[in-house]
Structure 1
């Protein structure tokens, strides 16, 4: 794996590292790339933050082809994001993933920026309005804990939970449940300090786990 000093971008070295990696993998398993080219069959859709310190496959100890991934700043799952919805639809309908993991991380720059009223970052600020909406909805709970890292960490967790339920509210997921497809949504948070993933204990595996006003007719069997 290529490692570069902070601020250095040696793309030729990246390409050289890629060739070395491919050669090493081929030596260990001559059929690896041939098998990989034949198609993907991941069981997990990972929806995480774009932060470069949180590489999904690496922190999960998984190989190429074992994790379908979508990432954005602060791992937000708004109903209006057609890019996200296209990923979820493909993962659920075509790949038949069995698990959707919404994965945040403590120390998230997006979450921290959303908590700072003095931040003005153009399009990023517009995007982080989703996180600010979560803060507003849970203001009393959040402001009951000390400001700074404790409050930011709680917002990271609450933001993950909100995104998970947003996914459960989509017709894509609810129609899958209605036809008997196994799909479970989970909420995890990664700790940068030690590399450990915290399971928030959230499991949404059917329409019975969401409020009635969010259930589609198909999910209710109507």
Structure 2
């Protein structure tokens, strides 16, 4: 069978072909919500789904935390098709993670996104777990990458309240992931061929809903190194001011 000849069933034909079964109420709620959302969108824009089905051409790749309180499209005010999204615990970009690197490569080489956003959030459970280092099982291996950041910036993480320490570590983690993306062969090759794509670092405040720009933006290999140093210096200065103000 030629896969190119396969047809994709519409939502209407799919629902008619599936035998009814009793669903858990929590799961059924998702279907009900979807139908309401779908009807609302169709009423507002009758051709929305038809246009959406033709192709995607997002300007942005979003690499964020899997935390359920950080909904990428919603907090940026973007619509379906405008944001290419990859999420994992603590928004890490690891050079052995083929999942993340595949998303990055597809976004840069195929979709030709113009902006790559690494977005962490304050109070990140993954960051806190990396610092506290409890025995959590398999995920401890993943969190080792954040522990590397802790060791690297240990001098900045002293004489701080618990909350301020975690917040600063969340910020440092984002900066390090921006650096990891910029140092990847995917980005290095894109910049060498003159592709216009930048990498930026944001942190989201769950407590107030605002995104904050951490001031690290890389448009090429040179600005990556320069702005990394500037961003670390800025965070160090802010830490010094906050601790001196508490004396």
Q: Same fold judged by TM-score > 0.5?
A: yes
Deviation at 1:167, TM superposition (A): 0.3
Instruction: Give the TM-score normalised by structure 1.
Output: 0.89
Does residue 190 in structure 1 map to residue 204 in structure 2? yes
Residue number in structure 2 paired with 1:202? 216
Which of 110, 119, 122 is the aligned partner of 2:137? 122
Correspondences of 1:70-81 after superposition (within 5 Å): 70-81=86-97
Residue number in structure 1 paired with 2:127? 111
RMSD: 1.4
Moved more, 38-47 or 8-17: 8-17
Correspondences of 1:1-222 after superposition (within 5 Å): 10-117=26-133, 119-143=134-158, 145-211=159-225
Deviation at 1:141, TM superposition (A): 1.0
Distance in 2 (CA, whole Å) between partners of 1:180 and 1:146 is: 43
Moved more, 145-154 or 167-176: 145-154
Deviation at 1:46, TM superposition (A): 0.3
Query: What CA deviation, in whole Å up to 9, does each residue of 1:64-91 have, x standing for no partner?
Result: 0000000000001111111000000000
| Cα distance change on mapping 1:9 and 1:158 into 2, 3 Å | farther
| Cα distance change on mapping 1:13 and 1:174 into 2, 3 Å | same
Query: What CA deviation, in whole Å up to 9, does each residue of 1:128-187 have, x standing for no partner?
Result: 0100110011001111x4140101000000000000000000111111111111010000
Between 1 and 2, higher relative CO (CA 8 Å, sep ≥ 6) is seen in 1
Length, aligned pairs only: 203
Distance in 2 (CA, whole Å) between partners of 1:70 and 1:210 is: 22
Distance in 2 (CA, whole Å) between partners of 1:149 and 1:100 is: 28
SS of residue in 1 equivalent to 2:106: helix
More helix as a share of residues: 2
The structure number with the bigger radius of gyration is 2
Structure 1 outlier segments of 4+, above 3 Å: none
Give 5+ residue unaligned stretches, structure 2: 1-23, 227-247
Deviation at 1:9, TM superposition (A): 6.5
Distance in 2 (CA, whole Å) between partners of 1:147 and 1:74 is: 21
Deviation at 1:207, TM superposition (A): 1.2
Give 5+ residue unaligned stretches, structure 1: 1-7, 213-222
